[in-house]
Structure 1
Amino acid sequence: MGAYLAEEGCWTEDFKVYLLQGTLPQKEEDAEHVARQATAYCIQDVELYQKRPNNVSFRCISREQGHELLADIHGEDCRHHSLSRTLVSKAFRSGFYWPTTLNDASELMRSYEACQFHAKKIH
């Protein structure tokens, strides 16, 4: 896969600042969210990772980088017209995470006409 580096101003920044410096966002609801969710994340080599119960960590990337990753995976696998969940599992197996993964994969699949043509038809 290509190089997916964290971008400035993406969703990971609040978590990185909190875990490295202990500083919460200014808005109260954002601060509560970050403080509550921060236990699921860790910093490794100055990058944010999401911790999983099975001791596997996923590298956190921005939504834009996630779109690129899904497009790369789908481009390699387009002939199969797989479901969005399959696409998400391949992104996770590649070791990457972002919070809107499933929604982004669904949007991507809806944007490809060939995938819509081969989708299951519910009667």
Structure 2
Amino acid sequence: MVMVHNIQRKLDWRSPILEYILENKLPMKKSEARAIMFKARNYCTIGSVLYRRALTEPLLRCLSPEEADKAILEVHTGICGEHLGGKSLALKIMRQGMYWPTIRKDCEGYVRKCQACQRHGNMSHRPTTELNSILAPCSFYQWGVDIVGPFPKSKGQCQYIVVAVNYATK
């Protein structure tokens, strides 16, 4: 627990940034101190509550891990929950004015574990590429030639195989 302006807080990702902004405290290691100073440029406080600044959005309230879990649960499955996908869920939470550094990863993980989403979600049955049929009017009309390898050297120092396929008869 850390005392920040007479408020007890558990140590989480917000603690070093809050300590730097409110009390100008930095870790002893130069690399860690530099990283915190770099991160702190994107944050501000109102009272003792940490907010993230953004160019085009309003201030986003920074949440603890416990608050983040509650926010995901409420937005995903709450009274107006839409069972959104991971990226959409993260964006909707940010539009509600909340933030934490691993928001997208946490939302995607939650959606993968949601039983209702797994049962009733859309399934894609399309192949990854469009299928093209090959028309060959007669045998030996069209050939496909490819080189396969390298393989371990065999007798005669050969490493590659030339493969030729007749499109009509395969």
Please classify the TM superposition score into its range, dividing by the shorter chain length.
Answer: 0.7 to 0.9
Alignment match, 1:3: none
Alignment match, 1:63: 65
Matches within 5 A, 1:1-123: 7-54=9-56, 56-76=58-78, 77-78=80-81, 80-117=82-119, 118-121=121-124, 123=127
- Counterpart CA distance in 1 for 2:87 and 2:57 is 22
| RMSD, aligned α-carbons | 2.1
- Counterpart CA distance in 2 for 1:56 and 1:42 is 12
- Counterpart CA distance in 2 for 1:48 and 1:85 is 24
The structure with higher relative contact order (CA 8 Å, sep 6+) is: 1
Q: Secondary structure at the match of 1:43?
A: strand
* Residues 6-15 or 66-75, more deviating: 6-15
Which structure shows the bigger proportion of residues in helix conformation? Answer: 1
Uncovered stretches (5+) of structure 1, i.e. residues with no partner: 1-5
Q: Secondary structure at the match of 2:88?
A: helix
Post-superposition, which runs of at least 4 consecutive aligned residues in structure 1 deviate over 4 A? none
Q: CA deviation at 1:55?
A: 6.0
8 Å contact kept, 2:44–2:51? yes
8 Å contact kept, 2:83–2:117? yes
Q: Secondary structure at the match of 2:67?
A: helix
Uncovered stretches (5+) of structure 2, i.e. residues with no partner: 1-7, 128-170
Q: Secondary structure at the match of 2:93?
A: helix
- Counterpart CA distance in 1 for 2:83 and 2:56 is 30
- Specify whether residues 65 and 29 from structure 1 end up closer, same or farther in structure 2 by C-alpha distance, changes over 3 A only: farther
- Specify whether residues 20 and 109 from structure 1 end up closer, same or farther in structure 2 by C-alpha distance, changes over 3 A only: same
Q: What TM-score results when the alignment is normalised by the length of structure 2?
A: 0.62
Count of aligned pairs:
117
